[in-house]
Amino acid sequence: MATVVVHLEGQPDAYGPLTHQFRNFGETVFGWVRDNKLGSVDIDEVDRSTNRFSIRDVKAAKLRHLTRWVEEEAARQFLTITTETSA
C-alpha cells in the first residue's frame, strides 16, 4: 500500500490566506476517496492542515487514477499542489 502526500504550493507552514480553501479541498478529497474505496484520509488531519495532508492505504493499481483525480480537482478549485508518493 502507498501513501500520497498532497502539498499546497505557495502556502507557508503557518495559517495563510489559502488555508480555508485547502481544507475544503481536503474534505472533497476525503469524501471522494471514501466513496470510491481508494484509500483513507484522516478528516482530523485535513481539518488541522494548513498546507498538507496524506492519503493512506492506496493500492498500487489505483495510485495513478487517484493521483490524477486529486491533481485535476485541485486545478478545478484553483489550487496549485504537488503530490509525493511513498510505498
CATH code: domain 2-86 is 3.30.70.270
Tens digit of each residue's pLDDT (9 = 90 or more) over 31-79:
999 999 999 999 999 999 989 999 999 999 999 999 999 999 999 999 9
Give the pLDDT score at 19. Answer: 86
In this structure, the strands spanning 2-8 and 81-86 are: antiparallel
Are residues 40 and 59 in contact, defined by beta-carbon separation less than 8 angstroms? no
The C-alpha cell that represents 59 in the structure block: 493500492
Neighbours of 49 (CB within 10 A): 19
In this structure, the strands spanning 40-41 and 52-58 are: antiparallel
Are residues 33 and 41 in contact, defined by beta-carbon separation less than 8 angstroms? yes
Tens digit of each residue's pLDDT (9 = 90 or more) over 58-69:
999 999 999 999
**For the residues 15-22, what does the mean pLDDT come to?**
81
Give the pLDDT score at 13. Answer: 61
Give the pLDDT score at 14. Answer: 62
The whole model's pTM is what? 0.90
Give the pLDDT score at 12. Answer: 59
